[in-house]
Amino acid sequence: MQFSAFGHKFTRNSGILQLMDDLGKALHSDRPVNMLGGGNPARLEAVNRVYREVLQDLVHNEAAVESIGNYSTPQGDARFIDTLAAFFRHEYGWDIGPENIALTNGSQNAFFYLFNLFGGRFGSGEDAVDKNILLPLAPEYIGYADAHVEGCHFTAVRPAIEAVEHEGEAGFFKYRVDFDALAQLPELKAGRIGAICCSRPTNPTGNVLTDAEMAQLDALAQAHGIPLIIDNAYGMPFPNIIYSPATLTWHDNIILCFSLSKIGLPGVRTGIVVAAPEVVNAIGALNAIVNLAPTRFGAAVATPLLADGRLKILADEVVQPFYRQQAKRAVQLLKQELAGYPMHIHKPEGAIFLWVWFEGLPVSSQTLYERLKAAGTLVIPGEHFFIGLDTADYPHASECIRISIAQDDTTLQNGIAAIGAAVRAAYDAAR
């Protein structure tokens, strides 16, 4: 059977396919697997209890059946959109209405739309030009890499790496945006960048771009007449898995993307896009073609929780403290396992991962991943996250791994012990 070029592109092996395939197989494996590779959030009883209460209310008042028995408009569930607009006006003072919000079937769906709206072929004939999405700080989210319908339209720059302390301890580093390198990008100077995109906190590293960095990126986007897209899947106001000082800003040249996944609802596939009306209208048009309309069940669950403040309370008082403690515990275990070896941990500032750099690692992180997988521990190799960069002469890209910290303590202990054994063996064999 022959597939089109589209079919070949979207059925080949990819980092996101590997991640989701490993996650699914691990969940249904007959043998124990230390699942430190997936992006699934932790199942927290205090959160689940609230969702059970809401689900019972939805069943009793018929809202559950109504939400699954009728389509929304292509823009998304109107009641949830109205509630979101009111929340953002009250919480942040934004001049925002329903015309500024669209829903999608998960934020992955949103980024597929946005990257194809702002990256790829513009114009036709002799006036045609290819434009890229600029990722100002690589590494970035693995799921971005294969989103374009044709080709791969990303440009990125290497990060500046700064040694830092964390809670008074050495052994940490932080990625910074290299604005000098950004200013020299030929694609930016030639008008071949369609949008700037960053995640905050960043998946995979947990990095939180500072307010000053965000202001510079905002100014850069406006100076070049292109939007700034911010992936807020782990950020404020929900799930608010963010520990560094940060301000959430929006205006009509910023496209903010949110998700219900990391607040504990990954299965409802609900993404939220806050943008100028023309972007919202475009997303609605794409929804109509691709999905008819976005799913409504996540909106039905989240609307009462957002309206009465419980969603934000869960984020601030349950979800964020849990991951902060998990990060602290994982750091402690890594330092125990790899004391004396050239390990550096990206400063934990948010999200549900740790990013670990094994400087001078004698094998690639892909090889390390394969060895760990064979031994029953899953991580994600770092190579896949350096989207838009030529990493052939950049060894740092193959010396890092991403570890999920969303698991129980036993899984963390066993998984990090396996990582420690595999990494020590790699260094020791090369001596």
Classify residue 247 as exposed, middle or buried by CB count within 10 Å of its CB (0-12, 13-18, 19+): exposed
Tokens, residue 406: 């969303």
Instruction: Identify the sign of the CA torsion 8, 103, 61, 66.
Output: negative
pLDDT in tens, the chain (431 residues): 888 888 877 777 766 676 667 666 665 666 668 999 888 899 999 999 999 999 998 888 877 777 777 888 999 999 999 999 999 999 999 999 999 999 999 999 999 999 999 999 998 888 889 999 999 999 999 999 889 988 889 999 999 999 999 999 999 999 999 999 999 999 999 999 999 999 999 999 999 999 999 999 999 999 999 999 999 999 999 999 999 999 999 999 999 999 999 999 999 999 999 999 999 999 999 999 999 999 999 999 999 999 999 999 999 999 999 999 999 999 999 999 999 999 999 999 999 999 999 999 999 999 999 999 999 999 999 999 999 999 999 999 999 999 999 999 999 999 999 999 999 999 999 88
Domain extent listing, the chain = 5-46+313-429, 71-308
Give the per-residue pLDDT at 65: 75
The CA distance from 327 to 353, in Å, is 8
pTM, entire model: 0.94
Classify residue 129 as exposed, middle or buried by CB count within 10 Å of its CB (0-12, 13-18, 19+): exposed
Q: Are 383 and 140 in contact (CB under 8 A)?
A: no
Give the per-residue pLDDT at 270: 96
Q: Which residues of 63-82 are buried (b: 16+ CB within 10 A; e: fewer)?
A: bbeebeeeebebbbbebbbe
Give the per-residue pLDDT at 18: 64
Q: Are 157 and 182 in contact (CB under 8 A)?
A: yes
Give the per-residue pLDDT at 30: 63
Give the per-residue pLDDT at 12: 73
- Inter-CA distances, 46 with 42, 204, 261, 311, Å: 11, 26, 16, 12
- Inter-CA distances, 37 with 41, 48, 270, 348, Å: 12, 23, 22, 17
Give the per-residue pLDDT at 23: 61
CATH topology of domain 5-46+313-429: Aspartate Aminotransferase; domain 2 (3.40.640)
* Beta strand 353-358 pairing with 343-346: antiparallel
The CA distance from 284 to 102, in Å, is 7
Instruction: Enumerate the β-bridge partners of residue 76.
Output: 73
Pick the CATH number of 71-308 from 3.40.50.740, 3.40.5.50, 3.40.640.10, 1.10.760.10: 3.40.640.10
Distant-in-sequence, close-in-space partners of 218: CB < 8 Å, separation ≥ 6? 228, 249, 253, 254
The CA distance from 345 to 332, in Å, is 11
**DSSP-assigned letter for residue 398:** G
Which residue from 205, 247, 209, 252 is spatially nearest to 351, judged by alpha carbons?
Answer: 205
Phi, psi of 293 (to 5 degrees): -160, 155
Give the per-residue pLDDT at 76: 97
